[in-house]
Amino acid sequence: MVCADGFIRRVHPILAAYVVDFPEQCLVACCKENRCPQCVVHRNERGASTPCPLRDVKETLSTLDEHQRGKKPPEFEEEGLRAVYNPFWRDLPYTNIFACFTPDLLHQLHQGVFKDHLVKWCEALLGEDEFDARFKAMHAHAGLRHFKKGISAVSQWTGTEHKEMQHVFMGVLAGAVNAQVLTVVKSLIDFIYYAQFQSHTTRTLDALQYSLDTFHANKSIIVTLGIREHFNIPKIHSLQHYVSAIRSLGSADGYNTEAPERLHIDFAKKAYRSSNKRDYTSQMTVWLQRQEAFALRQSYLDWLDHKLTSAFPSVTYSIPKAALFPDVTVAQLETIHGAINFLPVFAHFIQKFFPRCSLDPSRHDRFVVYKQLSIQLARNHFISDKARTCCIHATPATLARGRSPGVPAHFDTALINTENLLAYKVRDSFPCLNQGFIIHQGTKFQRT
Ligand SMILES: [Zn+2]
């Protein structure tokens, strides 16, 4: 193989990871489907929190051989094996097939633990109507989906729906269930979030394990309340293998089954389209090499960028070019925009954050009001390489006019950590504040 440094090397690939659905995992591991393809846990004990020894390649093969010779080794029954005598991995060097199975975020977490179990438990606790009513009652907010009709009306459950529900799930249940149930919900939701990180450290893996331990320590409440009789569920058991799988194979999002389909578009279709469609294999190869060079360079630049931004944390914002309300009086601010006591609060804000500012708010009576503000949040490399933005909306109610119906007021709630603002020096990190842009009462913002 020609390597990146131009040298030609003899390469011996080793089978290290195997992305496949649960029934196929069991077939490949030569075990029954009521067993774990990775460890020798008993079929009735998959709800327990105690880890079990992993299956062993040599021992499994020798048990299978003995069984084939007509003997009845006790391990065959104990480990739930089935009579697949010549698995394809028998002669593969350095391969431990039982450690090859990758976590499956979509089927095990989103569709399995979340939709098939957690949502059903909570629905049974609250009743379908109350559950729906709580989803409907959630406050609408940019970036969060508002389930206007509740969730029993959702006919198509895709990964997107699951993630949108997980965003608001804790809010839906808070106050409706007792504290221990809430702990169970929180621990599983935490587990799902940590498991999706695109990169991990010992700390994040500890947090992942801690969520699972918390779930096991509190799960008995679900039995006490009569929702379930046991937790002997294959997908609940599969959570036990996440930390070790991530340690040995890398973060779980890399094994998402959506990735290979996406890569086919990027690496094959796009490459073919950029060729002149004649003798395209070599053209596609050159195109791929160039894309790789771009990607390598880009990742270096991103790394530099990350080093710089983490050394100088900054917050940037963007507002529309033109304000929706360019000329608003203080009286209108208080009545239409709901900014009660505007001038005294504004004066207090200026005095607190800009003690040396000469601006006298009491001498201003007209303000420019924007209806939205996008704040660029610091990148979180655990979650994504992309920049994150947070959009805050504030629009007063519009009255019905002619045939167009009125629109109710929409004021987002914004929690602003002023301690951090001060720590980073307000002026440097919030350039908007230098220009007299202020955020008032968390929800409404004006500009002098
Ligand atoms: Zn297992």
End-to-end Cα spacing for the chain: 65
- The share of the chain scoring above pLDDT 70, in percent, equals 90
Last residue of a domain, one of 81, 101, 121: 101
The Å distance, Cα 46 to ligand 1 centre, comes to 8
C-beta separation of 166 from 189 below 8 A = yes
Nearest by Cα to 134 from 125, 390, 161 = 125
Give the per-residue pLDDT at 117.
94
Residues 97 and 118 grouped into a single domain: no
Mean pLDDT for the stretch of residues 422-431: 41
The Å distance, Cα 138 to ligand 1 centre, comes to 38
The Å distance, Cα 40 to ligand 1 centre, comes to 7
Residues 297 and 328 grouped into a single domain: no
Give the per-residue pLDDT at 424.
42
The Å distance, Cα 26 to ligand 1 centre, comes to 11
Residues 412 and 440 grouped into a single domain: yes
The Å distance, Cα 190 to ligand 1 centre, comes to 21
Give the per-residue pLDDT at 256.
73
Angle of helix 159-173 relative to helix 128-137, nearest 10 degrees, comes to 90
| Distance, CA of 120 to CA of 230 (rounded, Å) | 14
Task: Write out pLDDT tens, residues 152-211.
Answer: 888 788 888 899 999 999 999 999 999 999 999 999 999 999 999 989 999 999 999 999
The Å distance, Cα 27 to ligand 1 centre, comes to 15
Task: Write out pLDDT tens, residues 3-36.
Answer: 878 899 999 999 999 988 899 999 999 999 999 9
Q: Which domain holds residue 39?
A: 1-101
C-beta separation of 199 from 251 below 8 A = yes
Mean pLDDT for the stretch of residues 33-50: 91
C-beta separation of 21 from 104 below 8 A = yes
The Å distance, Cα 81 to ligand 1 centre, comes to 14
The Å distance, Cα 236 to ligand 1 centre, comes to 10
Residues 301 and 230 grouped into a single domain: no
Task: Write out pLDDT tens, residues 390-411.
Answer: 888 888 888 888 888 888 888 8
- Is 299 or 310 the better-scoring residue by pLDDT? 299
Query: For 348-424, where are the E strands, in sequence order?
Result: 366-369, 372-377, 388-395, 410-411
For the chain, the farthest-separated pair of C-alpha atoms sits apart, in whole angstroms, at 98
Residue 417: pLDDT band with limits 50, 70, 90: low
Cα torsion angle, 376, 378, 381, 382, sign: negative
Residue 314: pLDDT band with limits 50, 70, 90: low
Residue 425: pLDDT band with limits 50, 70, 90: very low
- Cα separations in angstroms, 132 against 83, 137, 173, 311, 331: 48, 9, 11, 46, 40
The Å distance, Cα 47 to ligand 1 centre, comes to 10
Residues 152 and 244 grouped into a single domain: yes
The Å distance, Cα 38 to ligand 1 centre, comes to 5
The Å distance, Cα 251 to ligand 1 centre, comes to 19
Residue 436: pLDDT band with limits 50, 70, 90: very low
Residue 257: pLDDT band with limits 50, 70, 90: low
Do the strands 388-395 and 372-377 form a parallel or antiparallel pair, or are they unpaired?
antiparallel
Task: Write out pLDDT tens, residues 342-354.
Answer: 888 888 888 887 7
Give the per-residue pLDDT at 396.
87
Give the per-residue pLDDT at 379.
73
Mean pLDDT for the stretch of residues 136-144: 82
Angle of helix 242-249 relative to helix 179-195, nearest 10 degrees, comes to 20
The Å distance, Cα 54 to ligand 1 centre, comes to 7
The Å distance, Cα 201 to ligand 1 centre, comes to 23
Give the per-residue pLDDT at 357.
75
The Å distance, Cα 312 to ligand 1 centre, comes to 45
Q: What is the mean pLDDT of the chain?
A: 85
Residues 222 and 357 grouped into a single domain: no
The Å distance, Cα 57 to ligand 1 centre, comes to 15
The Å distance, Cα 1 to ligand 1 centre, comes to 37
Residues 300 and 327 grouped into a single domain: no
Residues 304 and 272 grouped into a single domain: yes
The Å distance, Cα 78 to ligand 1 centre, comes to 14
Domain count of the chain? Answer: 4
Whether 306 has a pLDDT exceeding 60, the answer reads yes
Mean pLDDT for the stretch of residues 282-286: 92
| Distance, CA of 312 to CA of 308 (rounded, Å) | 6
Last residue of a domain, one of 239, 255, 271: 255
Nearest by Cα to 104 from 48, 165, 42, 24 = 24
C-beta separation of 372 from 380 below 8 A = no
Whether 361 has a pLDDT exceeding 50, the answer reads yes
Spell out the residues 6+ positions from residue 367 whose beta carbon is closer than 8 angstroms to its own. Answer: 328, 329, 330, 333, 446, 447, 448
Give the per-residue pLDDT at 170.
93
Whether 432 has a pLDDT exceeding 60, the answer reads no
Whether 435 has a pLDDT exceeding 70, the answer reads no
Residue 219: pLDDT band with limits 50, 70, 90: very high
Whether 61 has a pLDDT exceeding 50, the answer reads yes
Mean pLDDT for the stretch of residues 208-225: 95
Residues 249 and 289 grouped into a single domain: no
Last residue of a domain, one of 101, 123, 140: 101
Residues 285 and 368 grouped into a single domain: no
Residues 96 and 149 grouped into a single domain: no
The Å distance, Cα 314 to ligand 1 centre, comes to 45
Residue 39 backbone dihedrals phi, psi, to 5 degrees = -130, 175
Give the per-residue pLDDT at 237.
94
The Å distance, Cα 394 to ligand 1 centre, comes to 50
Spell out the residues 6+ positions from residue 87 whose beta carbon is closer than 8 angstroms to its own. Answer: 28, 30, 64, 97
Residue 4 backbone dihedrals phi, psi, to 5 degrees = -60, -30
- Give me the residue label for tokens 């990735």: 259
Within its chain, how far is the Cα of 430 from the centroid?
28
User: Which string of DSSP letters, residue by residue, matches 431-442?
Assistant: HHHHTTEEEETT
The Å distance, Cα 434 to ligand 1 centre, comes to 58
Residues 200 and 299 grouped into a single domain: no
Q: From the CB of residue 183, how many other CB atoms can be counted at a distance below 10 Å?
A: 17
Give the per-residue pLDDT at 315.
63
Mean pLDDT for the stretch of residues 55-81: 93
The Å distance, Cα 23 to ligand 1 centre, comes to 14
Residue type, 159: G
Task: Write out pLDDT tens, residues 318-327.
Answer: 888 888 888 8
The Å distance, Cα 239 to ligand 1 centre, comes to 9
